[in-house]
Amino acid sequence: MQITPVSGALGADIHGVDLASELSNSDASRVHDAFLEHRVLFFRDQKLSPPEFVRFARLFGEPDIYPFIKGLPDTPEVIEIIKTESDSKNFGGSWHSDTSYMENPALGTTLYALEVPEAGGDTLFANTAMAYDALTDGMKQLLSGLVGVNSSEKGYQGGRAAGMARLDAMKGTFQPEAETYESEHPVVRTHPETGRKSIYVNRSHTARFKDMTVEESAPIINYLCDHMIRPEFTCRFRWEAGSLAVWDNRTTLHHAINDYAGKRRHMQRITIKGDRPC
């Protein structure tokens, strides 16, 4: 197994491993250690069945059921994310941290590419711990007592499930009965395994700060969201069929770029259960 960093901020390629086979204890330990160190890992040339994909996700924690999209019949933890040639919008097309609107947001997410355009459809990642470290002492002091109010409905006209149903290939997969989620989490969270502090807000889900109005909160939220995605805190991944990525949702943001109009992109995704941020 070879582990090669892809940028100065975060991300590493892992070569020499077949994820369709069960990893040895030593290889599994190396992958998990690399996950904590590099925050997002990239694998190429994989060929996984849904059960094998679920087994891989278990290296990082317990696979979760995503509340807004129906999973595959035999592996409900696996959801399909498809953008067709006729869709104008994509899934995940803004900087965000997955399920931060839930009381226990996802620990991580793993995404597997089945079909991708010849060009376009890359994913950007940002290191929110590095972004926190770069803040001034005054800003860190300001943020230390703030709590973010996060909502699953922010940015979705008619609700999140209805918004997802506008994607042609996903019309029959959304869960119309899914509830609305709202959570309160510290703006600065401490990673339970590394002890590193990270900024924990995003424009997709963070509506305001607790005990503050939307208007009062917006300038600080906007500043932090712009700060976290400075180029020196980011990396970019170009997908190929058979590529797989797994990222630490507790200390990263990601953004699926929507730059492949008229092309098809078919992915499978699993989210991994997390705990309450502190």
Residue positions annotated with a catalytic role: 96, 98, 254, 269
The tokens describing 255, both together, are 């953004």
Encoding tokens for residue 61? 């924690």
CA distances from 258 to 19, 83, 87, 156, 249 (A): 28, 10, 10, 17, 21
Q: Strands 244-248 and 12-15: what pairing? A: unpaired
- Residue at 78: amino acid letter: V
DSSP the chain: -EEEE-SSSS-EEEES--TTSPPPHHHHHHHHHHHHHHSEEEE-S----HHHHHHHHTTTS-B---TTB---SS-TT-EEEEE-TT-SS-TT-SSB-TTTTSSS--SEEEEEEEE--SS---EEEEEHHHHHHTS-HHHHHHHTT-EEEEETTTT-TT-HHHHHTTSGGGTTTB-TTPPP-EEEEESEEE-TTT--EEE---TTTEEEETTS-HHHHHHHHHHHHHHHT-GGGEEEE---TT-EEEEETTSEEEEE----TT--EEEEEEEE------
